[in-house]
Chains A and B, each alone.
Chain A
Amino acid sequence: MSDPALRIAIIDFHGTLCERDCAAAFGQAAHVETMLVSSEKDSFSGPVHAIVVPGGFSYGDYIRPGAMARTAPITRALYAAADAGTPIIGICNGFQILCEIRLLPGVLLKNRDGRFICRETGLRVQSRRSPFLAGVKPDVLRVPIAHKYGQYYCSAETLAELQANDQIALCYCDDEGQISDAANPNGSVGHIAGVTNKAGNVLGMMPHPERRAMPWHAGKDGNWMIESVCA
């Protein structure tokens, strides 16, 4: 048996919920193998092409979303992979975790109106530096959010830095691709839906691309991102 060309690691914390959705969506292509990696491990036991930190409620969101994940052994492996330039994506709770372990700047606060929101949103691709976005052809994707703590916040200085370094990857927009307060579902500063680290290899985003990816889904915009990183 020949090794598959690409191995994608999907991190599984206690309370992670979207690990199987991500495995199904990212593992669609024949040349991709996904593997679930417990957060109790401190390495990936072998080379990985990319890493997905999926959504959910790791550790029940106790203390605050993503906070408990900091103590998990897998974070050491995440730091090493981030330094080595491995493509990493944190989706929803995964984004919250990447912020909590300081691989990404900023924090995610409770939504502007205090409630959980499950809704399809427009996403304007602002930067294609992340390997998950490099191959995305459209400028606007339709992908749903599902979160209570998704209001991205950072200081004015950090926001300026993000802009200067081209770290703002995705912004909420309307059907026509216009970025506006009305299209911003949760009150995120700068309408930010996703950011990268300075190097560009680590991406965090609140919307769920894996929910617009399967053959039976009416919309399939998430596949742009999946195919981008698996190319």
Chain B
Amino acid sequence: MNILIDQILNQRQKDTLLAGLGRDPTPAEVAMVSAMWSEHCGYTHSRHFLKTLPREGEHVLAGPGENAGIIRLHDQLAVAFKIESHNHPSAVVPYQGAATGVGGILRDIFTMGSEPIALMNSLHFDIRDHRGKWIAEHVVDGIADYGNCTGIPTVGGEYSSYPWYVDNPLVNVVCAGLLKPEQVLKASTAQVGDRVLYFGNKTGRDGIAGAIFASLNLTEATREQKSAVQVGDPFMGKLIMQATLELIRAGVPSAMQDMGAAGITCSTSEIAHNSGLGITVELDAVPVRAPGITAEEILLSESQERMLATVPPDRLAQAEEILNRYPLDYAWIGVIEETPDMVVRFQNETVASAPLDLLIDGCPVEDYADLTDDVLRAGKERASDLSGIAGTGRPLLGGKPSTNPEPPTLSALLEVYAETSHYASARHIYEQFDYEINQRTLGGPGDDHTLMYDAASERTVAFTLHSRSPWTLQHAYRGTRAVLAAAWRRSIAAGAYPLGLSNCLNYPSADRRETMIDFGGTTLAMKEFCEALGIPVTGGNVSFYNESEVGAIAPTPVFVLVGDSVLGPDRYRYAGAEGQLYLLGTPDLTAGDVYALWRLRQDGTLSGATVPTVDFAQEHQVGQALLDLYRAYPGAFAMRDVGKGGVFKRILEQFARADRDVVLNDDLPAALPDVLLGEGPCTYLLFVPDATTLEWPAALQAAGIRPLGRVTAGDGKLLAPAVELDLLKYRARADKSLEPHWIDQLELAP
């Protein structure tokens, strides 16, 4: 037994377990503890930092610790939303890894009683070689097949390709759902005597965590059938979604939790512990599909599409009546107890009996008291020295190595713009997703903003998803502040004051101090952002260990903001009008990602690149003024935040037409490359059609809003002092989508 413990638990965990139990643990207990005390369930490395984040707020109906965060948008409507990573499975088996990621995030949302209305994704690859393209293509295919088959539209997302994602793609998936504020069902409201209901798929040996699996007593049969890869079944996912929502609407369950990481162990222990109670689980009752499966395997199986609910004794028949109408398995596998222990029985024996306090809160966590706010703010500067970062140190494909490159010319920068996949239309990705099903999509992929319409309340929900790895790589703390400000601007442009923040924090190995300085820097920046703007953190996900022999990923925090948008079906949509362009803020070329890509192509570094220094109070002031402007002139003008690809990308997407020219003024606020391709704090681009007369509020005048140029009759040119660009040519290249980058020379094996 001791040998077994040594293989699975570290010394500190072992001591804690032995002290907590006062005896040697059983194999089942070791299995449960190993899962519950892992980084994924126990947040062993991240808890120190995450506990500092503000999570309270008048709009919060459910926060961290629940399956998903829930925000009250207005009296009639609440939104549940969450983002989660499926990076490691997607690196190994891209199709299934991505598909099961979608299945898992969907379950988190409908488990809370909300009806999923939108999926999104944040995808980051290194597509320079065949393997990278193969991963990208199959990740998209997996997301598409699962999402499309469940009938939830995939309405937005972001994509990047950087060298630091070689070997370690990032696949983060978002789901959001709507519900009435009074309909929230939590995982913490079980009562003594409630029966424990299991329904959905049968339990098999798939998805049993590799390290634990290899350390337990394995039977011959187990070895032959072992698989650490979960397999998704979207049809079953759709059925359990329907069944779950029907059970909740009928008021049957007292609490609900989906079975994700660590399967039955995590869901049963957490539902009891979060309710302040205990639980007895009868493993013999669990529907299984593998003969001879052991207690430890049942406890740790991560078979997909399984749900757990607690049901009061007088509701059992009603639960069965509903579930009998669906072709899925269900079973009563236990009971909620007064004593706060987790007792597991298998084949007439008690195989585990441990206090839930020990199992869940007893998890020894790392302490980083020495990483003070000052240490985190100082952080690590990385622009010119990217050693240890995967895939860097050599120029990107097609670039020429250079130790002392001249400052880039506009044409060199536009060449980068035209040739990398970043600014190509993402049509190749999003056309594989059904983004219009359920009739709610007001702004989908390819549109300016991600907007979902609720016909019952005649209100619009805005979703913003944002990450910027070149910034967070240069400096985690300052980079994260800049990413959050950029996400804020995107939400403002979508007409919404953000009411809640969710996050997916993708980092390299937590065992290195450098990683934890970056991680702490990111959480400190989040704390400052949330406190300054009054936005609570409603949930999140941490993914460490995104590294391999070739190096580590860039720290990549991905943020989701949700808000009640002032934009509706009558919002302004550009249809060829002439008008005036206005610019807020002063873009800086070196802060933009076009510069970063140019530099990576030159010498594989980010030398000379900068991170915008942002002031949240100033962003707040400008953002509020812009929302007021939207309210004052509904449907009269267009606004975009100036983000990836700068002003140029926005001009290209909106105004590149055969019958229009974009003529920039002579007195530009900065050099042309800065104006066209840079970024900066409080930067927005507005278009006011000639038919609209606007009076700028004092706050925007104070913020320095200025005319940038005109959209006027012409033939598809951008005209600036001494420069003429053929917009239609660049537009045609962007419209070719990602296919030249992804598909050329790629064999599409099934």
Evaluate contact between A60 and B233: CB separation under 8 angstroms: yes
Q: Which residues of B lie under 8 Å from residue A146 when comparing CB positions? A: 148, 434, 436-437
Whether B417 is near chain A, meaning CB under 8 Å from some CB there, is no
Complexed CA–CA distance, A12 and B433 (Å): 23
Complexed CA–CA distance, A217 and B569 (Å): 7
Q: Which residues of A lie under 8 Å from residue B455 when comparing CB positions? A: 214, 216
Stretch from B156-164, B234-242, B274-282, B365-373 contacting the other chain: B234-242
Within 8 A of A (CB), among B417-468: 430-439, 442, 453, 455
The minimal Cβ–Cβ distance linking B362 to chain A, given in whole angstroms, is 42
> A217: which of B234, B431, B434, B439 is its contact (CB, 8 Å)?
B439
Q: Which residues of A lie under 8 Å from residue B407 when comparing CB positions? A: none
Stretch from A77-85, A114-122, A161-169, A195-203 contacting the other chain: A114-122
Whether A215 is near chain B, meaning CB under 8 Å from some CB there, is yes
Q: Which residues of A lie under 8 Å from residue B235 when comparing CB positions? A: 14-15, 57, 59-62
The minimal Cβ–Cβ distance linking A49 to chain B, given in whole angstroms, is 23
The minimal Cβ–Cβ distance linking B543 to chain A, given in whole angstroms, is 27
Evaluate contact between A17 and B234: CB separation under 8 angstroms: no
Whether A144 is near chain B, meaning CB under 8 Å from some CB there, is yes
Q: Contact size class for B? A: 20 to 34
Evaluate contact between A117 and B432: CB separation under 8 angstroms: yes
Evaluate contact between A116 and B144: CB separation under 8 angstroms: yes
Q: A115-B432, A118-B430, A119-B431 are in contact. Are A60 and B149 (CB under 8 A)?
A: yes
Evaluate contact between B748 and A118: CB separation under 8 angstroms: no
Q: Which residues of A lie under 8 Å from residue B568 when comparing CB positions? A: 216
Complexed CA–CA distance, A25 and B436 (Å): 14
Q: A14-B239, A24-B439 are in contact. Are A56 and B434 (CB under 8 A)?
A: no
Contact mask B133-147 → A, CB, 8 Å, 1/0? 000000001001100
> B437: which of A18, A61, A216 is its contact (CB, 8 Å)?
A18
Whether A124 is near chain B, meaning CB under 8 Å from some CB there, is no
Evaluate contact between B442 and A144: CB separation under 8 angstroms: no
If over half of B's interface residues share one DSSP class (helix, strand or loop), that class is named, otherwise mixed; here it is: loop
Whether B20 is near chain A, meaning CB under 8 Å from some CB there, is no
The minimal Cβ–Cβ distance linking A195 to chain B, given in whole angstroms, is 23
Within 8 A of B (CB), among A106-143: 114-119
Q: A62-B235, A216-B453 are in contact. Are A118 and B439 (CB under 8 A)?
A: no
Most A-side CB within 10 Å, residue of B235, B239, B326, B573: B235
Q: A14-B239, A60-B235, A210-B439 are in contact. Are A215 and B569 (CB under 8 A)?
A: yes
Contact mask A16-31 → B, CB, 8 Å, 1/0? 0110110011000000
Evaluate contact between A17 and B151: CB separation under 8 angstroms: yes
Most B-side CB within 10 Å, residue of A15, A114, A118: A118
Evaluate contact between A56 and B151: CB separation under 8 angstroms: yes
Q: A57-B148, A60-B235, A62-B235 are in contact. Are A17 and B437 (CB under 8 A)?
A: yes
Q: Which residues of A lie under 8 Å from residue B149 when comparing CB positions? A: 15, 57, 60-61
Complexed CA–CA distance, A14 and B240 (Å): 11
Q: Which residue of B lies closest to A25 (CB)?
A: B439
Q: Which residue of A lies closest to B144 (CB)?
A: A116
The minimal Cβ–Cβ distance linking A120 to chain B, given in whole angstroms, is 9
Whether A1 is near chain B, meaning CB under 8 Å from some CB there, is no
Q: A56-B151, A57-B235, A116-B144 are in contact. Are A14 and B436 (CB under 8 A)?
A: no
Q: Which residues of A lie under 8 Å from residue B234 when comparing CB positions? A: 57, 60
Q: Which residues of B lie under 8 Å from residue A17 when comparing CB positions? A: 150-151, 238, 437
The minimal Cβ–Cβ distance linking A216 to chain B, given in whole angstroms, is 4
Q: Which residue of A lies closest to B444 (CB)?
A: A118
Evaluate contact between B151 and A117: CB separation under 8 angstroms: no
Complexed CA–CA distance, A179 and B396 (Å): 43
Complexed CA–CA distance, A58 and B437 (Å): 15
Contact mask B567-581 → A, CB, 8 Å, 1/0? 011000100000000
The minimal Cβ–Cβ distance linking A110 to chain B, given in whole angstroms, is 11
Evaluate contact between A211 and B439: CB separation under 8 angstroms: yes
Within 8 A of A (CB), among B232-274: 233-236, 238-239
The minimal Cβ–Cβ distance linking A21 to chain B, given in whole angstroms, is 5
Give B residues with C-beta under 8 Å from A.
141, 144-145, 148-151, 233-236, 238-239, 326-327, 430-439, 442, 453, 455, 568-569, 573, 748
Cβ-closest 8 pairs across A and B: A60-B235, A17-B151, A216-B569, A57-B149, A146-B434, A116-B432, A211-B436, A118-B434
16 extra interface residue pairs, beta carbon distance < 8 Å, beyond A117-B432, A216-B453: A14-B239, A14-B327, A17-B151, A17-B238, A60-B234, A60-B235, A60-B238, A61-B235, A62-B235, A115-B432, A116-B144, A118-B435, A118-B436, A144-B436, A148-B148, A217-B569
28 A-B pairs within 8 Å (CB atoms) are namely A15-B238, A18-B437, A21-B439, A56-B151, A57-B149, A57-B234, A57-B235, A59-B235, A60-B233, A60-B234, A60-B236, A60-B238, A115-B431, A116-B432, A116-B434, A118-B431, A118-B433, A118-B434, A118-B435, A146-B434, A210-B439, A214-B439, A216-B442, A216-B455, A216-B568, A217-B569, A218-B569, A218-B573
